[in-house]
Amino acid sequence: MRWSVGLIPDLTGRRALVTGATSGLGYQTALALLRKGAEVVIAGRNPDRVAEAARRLSSETGRQPDVLDLDLADLTSVRAAAEKAIASYEQLDLLINNAGVMATPLRRTADGFELQVGTNHLGHFALTLRLMPLLVKAPGPRVVTVTSFMHRTVPRISEGDLRGEGPYGRWDAYGKSKLANLLFMYELNRRAGDQLTSVGAHPGFAATELQSSGPRLGGANLEARVLSLGTRLVAQSAAAGAWPSLYAATKRDLAPGSLIGPRLMEWRGKPKVVQASRAARDPELARRLWSWSAEATEIDLPTS
C-alpha cells in the first residue's frame, strides 16, 4: 500500500516542534500533525506571522498550537527559544528542522556567519543540541532535518563557507547549506543514535515562497517573478511537498539515517527512501563539519 497522510498513526500525547511553520512546508507539516492529535509548537522569527499562523491552524483543525519566538540567524535567540521550551514542556517527541532561506545575496547572521549556512544549518544545529534534554525524555524521539535535492550541486563544504569567505554565489551557498543539513543529520545519528532517531527529508520541487524570496531580497525582481511563475507552472503543492517530512517524522520502523524524497524523479509525488550524494555520505566530512559547527555555536553533545 502506498503511503498517504491518512496512514499517519494517531499522535495523541506526542509533542512536535516545527521550525518555519508560518507558511509553506512548515505550515502544512504542522497542520497534518495537529489533525493527527499531536501537540504542536510552531516556531518562527516574526511574532506577528507566527501568531497569525497559529490562528489559521486553530481555525482549520479546532486545535490550538503553541508558539515559540525563534530567529535561527541569531544564536542568542536560539538559546532563548530552547530555554523557554525546556521550561515549558516535559519532553519533545518530534523536532522538525524545516525553516530556511534560499539564494540570498551575501548577508551575515547576527553572529557573523554567512546567512544561508548560518540559518539553514548552524541555527538548527544549535537548536537541536540545546533541545536534547527534552528529546531524551521522550520514548523514541525523532529529529527530521529538511534538506533539498540542491545538496547534489556542490561537492564539498569548508570551514570558511560558514563565514562566507572567498567568492560568493547565492545558489552555491544554498547548496552548501543543504549539504550541511545532511552531513549533520548523519553525524547526529552516529553520535546520538542510541538516544534518538535522526532522519532527513527533501520536498522535491514544491510551491512555496522560498524560491522567490531570496532573489527579491537582493533586488533581482525579474528573477523572482520568473521563479515564481515557473514554480506555479511546474511545482507540486506545498501540502504535497510536506509529505516527505511527514513520512520521515511518523513512519514506524523507519531506519535511522534514512533520507525521504518524492517518488517521481525526486521532484514530485508520494514519498520514498532516496539516496543522498556521495559528499553528504562522507563520514569524515561530517565529523569535520560537526567540529566546526560546535566551535561556531559553542555547544556540543557531551562525550561519554
**Does the structural domain 12-206+240-295 have CATH classification 3.40.50.720?**
yes
Indicate if 174 belongs to the active site: yes
Greatest Cα pair distance, the chain, in angstroms, is: 53
- How far apart, in whole angstroms, are the C-alpha atoms of residue 304 and residue 248? 28
Which cell numbers hold the place of 178? 543543504
Assess whether pLDDT exceeds 60 at residue 139. yes
- How far apart, in whole angstroms, are the C-alpha atoms of residue 302 and residue 304? 7
pLDDT number for residue 116? 98
pTM for the whole structure: 0.92
Average model confidence (pLDDT) for the chain?
92
Taking a C-beta distance cutoff of 8 angstroms, is the pair 176, 154 a contact?
yes
Q: Which of 65-74, 150-159, 164-173, 234-243 has the lowest mean pLDDT?
A: 234-243
pLDDT number for residue 268? 76
Catalytic residue chosen out of the listed positions 27, 174, 186, 247: 174
Of 194 and 31, more confident: 31
- How far apart, in whole angstroms, are the C-alpha atoms of residue 45 and residue 43? 7
Q: Which of 11-25, 208-222, 224-238, 248-262 has the lowest mean pLDDT?
A: 208-222
Q: What are phi and psi of 52, to 5 degrees?
A: -65, -40
Assess whether pLDDT exceeds 90 at residue 133. yes
Assess whether pLDDT exceeds 50 at residue 47. yes
pLDDT number for residue 2? 82
Assess whether pLDDT exceeds 70 at residue 218. no
Domain boundaries, given as residue ranges, for the chain: 12-206+240-295
Residue (of 38, 110, 31) closest to 70 by Cα position = 110
